[in-house]
Amino acid sequence: MKKYFLFLLFPLLFISCNDKNEAEAAIAGIDVGEVKIVRFDDVFYNSKPEDLPKLKQAYPFFFPQNYPDSVWVSNMNDPFMRQLKEETDKVYPNMDALQDEMHSLFQHMKYYFPEVNVPEVFTIISDDENQRAVYSPEVVAIPINLYLGKDNKLYDGLPSYQVQTFEPNQIVPDVVSSFAPGYIAAPKDRTFLSIITYFGKELYLKDLLIPNATDAAKMGYTEEQEAWAEENESEIWRYFVENKVLFDTNAKLADRFVNPAPFSKFYLELDNESPGRLGVWIGWQIVRSYMENNKDVTLQQLLETDAKTIFDNSKYKPKK
């Protein structure tokens, strides 16, 4: 029976891989023009206070009108901000690699969302450690000092679970996270299933838009955390089912299994071994299973479909 099953499986795998190869070949031929990353951090910190009027005219989106010029002058001369800039220049002497990644991302966006315009891309310096890369139809702003690598001295004192997402490989996944809400339908209710399915759709978008990224990078996990999730998938799922959390609307479930955290909160001995956001990871697997078992569903249909329909038709069953 096993041999017969494998005999049936191989053609399906071949068809799936062939479809992906055809899509990638088409994507590679999409013209998005030259993607150039503007180092606004260079422009700003190489300027003088008297240059402000010119800067504000050229880059109005970086100068909210409710802030007086004194704020920007102070920023230019702030020793800590200068240190952030100096450290950033060491890690990113040029933007060549990132430009290639952004070019590929925009090609994938245009393939799946033809109406998308290619925005301008800027790097900035930010003193807000919660500020991630931001996508808008006109501008992508990347706070480049937040992607210097988790071991950078500038991050001393910050929580390790947060700092592990300060790796260069998190820039493009963060851009997709900012892009996704404009295309994913909001949850229709407050159930745990709806919340994790919403984020599962976001991660599935990453599967399509940044196919060369690792699953760990898409989640903001280390490779070890991703391996832990994969190895314990059936146990995580059993916990959710046995404790009837899928259709629960308790807001505390988001803090336990959805929001960034050092670990997930099962209230078991294994908690300290687990990565945070395991509910999101399970939502991703449900969405993947749904798309694998419903080949006629388009990406746009997926993004509009409610969580219960996805779950009921996903045939999701963790590997033991």
Q: Which tokens go with 180?
A: 């996704």
Strand, coil or helix: 142: strand
* Span 116-128, pLDDT tens digits: 999 999 999 999 9
* Span 89-144, pLDDT tens digits: 999 999 999 999 999 999 999 999 999 999 999 999 999 999 999 999 999 999 99
Look at the alpha carbons of 167, 171, 173, 174 in this order and tell me if their dihedral is positive or negative. positive
Pairing of strands 134-135, 139-143: antiparallel
Does residue 28 carry a pLDDT above 80? Answer: yes
DSSP 67: S
* Span 43-54, pLDDT tens digits: 999 999 999 999
Degrees to nearest 5, angle at CA 170 with 16 and 311: 45
In one letter, which amino acid is 291? M
Distance separating alpha carbons of residues 124 and 92, to the nearest angstrom: 12
Residues facing residue 135 across a β-bridge? 140
Q: For the chain, give the mean pLDDT.
A: 93
